Amino acid sequence: MRGVWAECVADSGVVARVDELVAGLPGPLARTSEQRAEMAAAKDAARALRVAFLDAYADAVYELLTGGRAESPRMEELLVAAAGEFPGLVPGEARLASERSRPQAAKEGDEIDQGIFLRAVLRSPSAGPHLLDSMLRPTPRALGLVEEFSRTGVVEMESVRVERGDDGVARLTMCRDDCLNAEDVRQVDDMETAVDLALLDPAVRVGLLRGGEMTHPRYRGRRVFSAGINLKSLSSGDIPLVGFLLRRELGYLHKLVRGLRADHPGRWHSPLVEKPWVAAVDGFAIGGGTQILLVCDHVLAASDAYLSLPAAKEGIIPGVANFRFSRYVGPRLSRQVILEGRRIRAAEPDARLLVDEVVEPEHMDAAVEASLARLDGAAVLANRRMLNLAEEPPDAFRAYMAEFALQQALRIYGQDVIDKVGRFGSAPPAPG
């Protein structure tokens, strides 16, 4: 298999041509229109070669990289292995390190080649489910913290605090108080760690997601759920395709739906550890914040809160919301919210399609506790599993994620996105 790819690369010369142009031309921002066109044509030819190869050999490549699926690497590990075994198929670490040092507008767009590779893997009926299953396993960071959490009931991270109460509830509090819980790589890592800890701890029966109190000048002392993606980080080049955009969907959000893959001989009835989840929205749930609500079992919102998916404003795809949102609100409202940026206020009737309870702000704490008590039951677990299988079949989710892997990669390098997020480069995060 390596020989087939090496022969394709040598015979075509298209991968080497891209490397020559990258080395010989000025950086992306300094290129003339003719140089940009020449580079675009070279990249298109190389990407067409990668697509053709993976259309024919994706399963064989995946089998080789995973030892016949005996190993379960996460996406990042899989891509590192692919770069080593098939040079030129996906960018290597040196290339990615160079990209990471640049703002989004100055990058070459090598992550698009990662999107091509992951689309091919996820499309495969054999490789795709195996990779999704691998992403449901607990992270090494969580495994390193699980003893501390079991013993103390508290783990405090930079972006998230997780605390287990005597009532069997794991309370995950998003606490990026300076930026309104705008998500970046740090928060995605902390959220997945927190979700893993809650699912790994047998003393936890129900999980709660809520925003903490802010120090941001406009919301000082008030709880806020989430301002969505950190656009300043996107502009500066610090929102990677794999480490953020795909990891959040296949990591903590997917674990909220499916549960945690935990190999344990006593769990013959299911390899997945699942728990019900409640989300409480104070202030607003913008973009990624609203996406979180779509995977929770019960959602409360303060009467003065609002929800939005400002995809048209940002120019990117709002995660798996395009797959899940219509299930809740129907196709027409989905288009209004996703394509036109309509904001849904908790007090308006349409909000009840997304929110189970609308509560006056001063009554939120009591309403949250009551909802947690209602979801604490063995029958709840069995029924939520069957509901999730019916509402979000694994193969349909996999097919969506396969296309999302490439389309989101193309979007984050679209000139319209670069122009839009560039305006956030020097501005503090603010609700959209």
- Would the pLDDT of 368 be above 50? yes
DSSP letter at 317 equals: -
pLDDT for 422: 74
Segment 345-356 shows an average pLDDT of 97
Q: What is the reported pTM?
A: 0.95
Q: What is the architecture of the domain spanning 2-135?
A: Up-down Bundle (1.20)
Question: From CA 408, how far away is CA 414, in angstroms rounded?
Answer: 10
Q: Which amino acid is at 388?
A: N
CATH 3.40.50.261 given to domain 140-392: no
pLDDT for 270: 73
pLDDT for 13: 96
Under 8 Å CB-to-CB from 318, ≥6 apart: which residues?
Answer: 287, 288, 290, 291, 309, 311, 338
pLDDT for 429: 46
Question: From CA 283, how far away is CA 31, in angstroms rounded?
Answer: 44
Per domain, the residue ranges of the chain are: 2-135, 140-392
- Would the pLDDT of 264 be above 80? no
